[in-house]
Amino acid sequence: MECVFGLVGKDFAIVVADSSAVHSILVHKTNEDKIMLLDSHKLMGASGETGDRAQFTEYIQKNVALYQFRNGIPLTTAATANFTRGELATALRKNPYMVNIILAGYDKEGPSLYFVDYIASLHKLDKAAFGYGSYFALSMMDRHYHRDMTVEEAVNLVDKVIMEIRSRLVVAPPNFVIKIVDKDGAREYAWRESIKDAPVIAS
Amino acid sequence: MARYDRAITVFSPDGHLFQVEYALEAVRKGNAAVGVRGTDTIVLAVEKKSTPKLQDSRSVRKIVNLDNHIALACAGLKADARVLINRARIECQSHKLTVEDPVTVEYITRYIAGLQQKYTQSGAWKANATGRNSNSIREFLEKNYKETCGQETVKLAMRALLEVVESGGKNLEVAVMTKDHGLRQLEEAEIDAIVAEIEAEKAAAEAAKKAPPKET
């Protein structure tokens, strides 16, 4: 039921993820942040097994930081994507990580988006999606996406996708987080919440 | 005596570990390095041997980042330093991965000392020096240390180093660490400007010493 998708715009890339943390029939929380900031100009949205997701993305983040300290310059997005894929591939036949990843970054090549799935496929794409929501996300993006979208156009498309997921997917995740990366860096853009975690009632 | 210095694990008959002492000697011959802690700033300054004109001086860095909040300046064999720095950098990230917290200065110092099998490291210095003429620098700091902040801390560190280093921005490498800006290496022009300020202050102090007898 988890859903992560992303797209590349004119000088930026956007990654969107649902924010529900679910265990069997229980929703632990509805504001789980599944998009990790790898460094100042990279975003990694991940879906899949909760433990693997946290562990693997943190591992990649620390290795990206180590590279920067060792070499004085940050990894390119392409290099990060290939490193990530390599780690997944190495673990695959012994102890696979059940994580699907959408990596977005901004470097001297401009904005870019990479699709890395749990069996270590790697694709550089303009738009990508994971999860049951991908059926709706990909259809909406195929219909409305065009190259060099502005931030407003892209966010409009993102909102259209979220509306489709909410209305058409049974057990749809209620809340989403949107993060953006451009020349000024990677940052949280907005939340789309239809359910807020209830505050504790004082007795 | 020479027979007992071939391996680090061999004691001489009078209880010396020659390899360790030779290593300490190498540090004593190394470039002077100074560290000073202010209220909101930490400054590291290292003597820079003159780099060949054709070498990009920025590529020879003696002050390095271990993590966002920790920097290291070293004296001695740079090749050995590189190995230790690499291990320390890995440990900084590994620590963050396992306990979700950045390393403390004390932790990473203990870790590096552990790598060197030297248990004489000590912590919590207000100011210290190592390398060539470190004793003179430490004497200067003992006489002149006071709680400073911001630019004053930088000047104190540089004044200490200038006691033993030939003056001039070409011979100094200075890095400043603050909470907001992390580690910042000073440009040669900035260093020259501060050196000029220090010299001016010194000259003014000298003049003031000579002036009073004239007052009646």
What does the pLDDT read at residue A55? 94
Average pLDDT of chain B to the nearest whole number:
84
Percentage above 90 pLDDT, chain B = 27
Query: Does A58 contact B90 at a Cβ distance shorter than 8 Å?
Result: no
Residues of A with CB under 8 A from a CB of B: 58-59, 62-63, 65-66, 69-70
* Residue A66 with chain B: CB contacts under 8 Å: 89-90, 93
Tell me the mean pLDDT in the region A70-77: 92
Question: How many angstroms away from the CA of A5 is the closest CA of chain B?
Answer: 26
Nearest CA in chain B to A60: B97
Residue of A nearest to B67 (CA): A69
Question: Mutation test of the interface with chain A: which of B72, B87, B93, choosing the one with the most A Cβ atoms within 10 A?
Answer: B93
Q: Which residues pair with B37 in a beta bridge?
A: B42
Task: Give the H or E element holding residue B21.
Answer: helix B18-29
Predicted local confidence at residue B121, as pLDDT: 60
Is the pLDDT score of A178 beyond 60?
yes
Average pLDDT, integer, range B89-108: 94
pLDDT the model gives residue B119: 47
pLDDT in tens, A126-177: 999 999 999 999 999 999 999 999 999 999 999 999 999 999 999 899 999 9
C-alpha B51/C-alpha B64 separation (Å) is 18
**Does the beta-carbon distance from B89 to A69 stay under 8 Å?**
yes
- pLDDT the model gives residue A7: 97
Alpha-carbon gap, residue A106 to A14, rounded angstroms? 11
Query: What does the mean pLDDT of chain A come to?
Result: 94
Cβ proximity of A103 and A80 under 8 Å: yes
pLDDT digits (tens, 9 = 90+) for B165-180: 876 667 888 999 988 8
Give the ipTM.
Answer: 0.80
The Cα of B2 is separated from the nearest Cα of chain A by a number of Å equal to 39
Chain segment B32-82, per-residue pLDDT in tens:
889 999 999 999 999 887 767 777 766 677 899 999 999 998 877 788 888
Which residues of B make CB contacts under 8 Å with A? Answer: 65-67, 86, 89-90, 92-94, 96-97
Q: What is the pTM of this model?
A: 0.81
Test B96 with A69 for CB contact under 8 angstroms.
no
Query: Distance between alpha carbon B211 and the CA centroid of its chain, in Å?
Result: 37
Query: Could you write out the DSSP letters of every residue in chain A?
Result: ---EEEEE-SSEEEEEEE--EEETTEEEES----EEEEETTEEEEEEE-HHHHHHHHHHHHHHHHHHHHHHSSPPPHHHHHHHHHHHHHHHHTTS---EEEEEEEEETTEEEEEEE-TT--EEEESEEEESTHHHHHHHHHHHH--SS--HHHHHHHHHHHHHHHHHHSTT--S-EEEEEEETTEEEEEEEE-SSPPPPPPP-
- Which tokens in the block code for residue A26? 């229980």
Q: With CB atoms and an 8 Å threshold, state whether B93 touches A63.
A: yes
Nearest CB among A58, A59, A66 relative to B89 is that of: A66
Contacts (Cβ under 8 Å, ≥6 apart) of B132: B28, B29, B30, B31, B32, B47, B75, B164
Give the pLDDT of residue B116: 77
pLDDT digits (tens, 9 = 90+) for A27-40: 999 999 999 999 99
